[in-house]
Amino acid sequence: MYVQIRHLNDQRAYQQANQVSNETTEYATVVATEALIAATEDEITAESKASLVWQEADVEDDLFMDELANKNLVALREVNPDVLGWIEIPGTQIAYPIMDGDDNEYYLEHTWDKKPSDSGSIFLEQLNHSDLGDFHTFLYGHRMKNGSMFGSLKYYNSNEYYEEHPYVYIVDDFGVHRYEIFSAYTAPVEGSTFLYGFRNEKGMQSFIDYCISKSEIDTDVVPTLDDRILTLVTCTGNGYEARWVVQARLKGVEGNPRRYYEKTA
């Protein structure tokens, strides 16, 4: 999985990236849609299937989650049906639609509304499922020097920055999800960071241990096998042999079912 995320320093691309952020925020900040409410209610009321469904742990007293519940994904999809959801890290420039394309190439060079642009978009790894239900999910974005797209991720080499921005929020058709950042580091493209499929719990635990051991920041967040892992991927600014990654966990309830796959990226 060698997605050619780049480090870009181009004024036109910066302007495009900033314009994308402003425009999509206007599109998405409206009342919650009936589809979002219906999907959430279905998940909550399906008690008979609870033992077979992965369940997210409750989050209390997070006003930002309440604010993000007003993002209207339907409005964004009227412009481009490839919109999967929305990602935001408060206090940074990361506030964008998440794109789900047919490959790992198109949204490297196109905005969320399909306009050619070197700034690209934030997009899902093509091997991942669109429900974000895999144990390990990847999102990609360019490292723009002005901090747009995934340019802000470079600051997670500092504990101080992490403490000021500890969460990644994602909105999808099932609601608002808060991921807790637990690791950030430079990852070789052929290293264990980019494992996608896990055949057993031993492999999953080894992956978690590896990610924690590589981290350049110290956190109190330790993922378990009941959680889901999100890896945000951008370039290092020093060639294509490695990537800068920031990893976060979506906390699940104890005893969640596992998803195993044969494929690896």
CA of residue 190 relative to chain centroid, distance: 21
Per-residue pLDDT in tens (0 to 9) along the chain, 265 residues: 556 665 655 666 556 666 655 555 555 544 334 444 455 555 555 454 556 799 999 999 999 999 999 999 999 999 999 999 999 999 999 999 999 999 999 999 999 999 999 999 999 999 999 999 999 999 999 999 999 999 999 999 999 999 999 999 999 999 999 999 999 999 999 999 999 889 899 999 999 999 999 999 999 999 999 999 999 999 998 888 999 999 999 999 999 998 887 655 5
Asked, for residue 265, whether it belongs to a domain, the answer is: no
- Report d(CA 98, CA 87) in Å as an integer: 6
- Of the candidates 170, 133, 140, which has an alpha carbon nearest to the alpha carbon of residue 261? 133
The reported pLDDT for the residue numbered 229 is 98
CATH of residue 186 = 2.40.260.10
pLDDT at 87: 98
Q: Tell me if 66 is assigned to some domain.
A: yes
Q: Give a yes or no: residue 256 inside a domain.
A: no
Going by DSSP bridges, is the β-strand pair 122-124/95-99 parallel, antiparallel, or unpaired?
parallel
Number of Cβ within 10 Å of residue 243's Cβ equals 26
Identify the domain containing residue 61 by its residue range: 7-250
- pLDDT at position 71 is 96
Q: What is the DSSP letter of 223?
A: -
Q: What is the pTM of this model?
A: 0.82
Residue 110 lies in a domain: yes
Nearest-angstrom CA–CA distance, 155 and 162: 8
- The count of domains in the chain is 1
Residue 262 lies in a domain: no
| Vertex 111: Cα angle to 141 and 194 (nearest 5) | 25
How many other C-beta atoms can be found within 10 angstroms of the C-beta atom of residue 222? 12
Let me know: does 16 contact 119? Beta carbons within 8 Å: yes
Give pLDDT, residue 18: 60
CA–CA distance, 232 with 229 (Å, rounded to integer) = 10
What pLDDT sits at residue 259?
A: 82
Asked if residue 263 belongs to a domain, the reply is: no
Phi, psi of 14 (to 5 degrees): -60, -45
Residue 69 one-letter amino acid: A
The span from the first CA to the last CA of the chain, in angstroms, equals: 5
Residues 140, 104 contacting (CB under 8 angstroms):
yes
Which pLDDT does position 168 carry in this prediction?
Answer: 98
Exposure letters 183-199 (e unless 16+ CB within 10 A, then b): bbbbbeeeeebbbbbbe
- Find out whether 107 and 17 touch, Cβ atoms under 8 Å: no
213 is a domain residue: yes
SS3 236: coil
The answer to the question of residue 260 being in a domain is: no
**Dist. CA 116–CA 132, nearest whole Å:** 26
pLDDT for 29 equals: 44
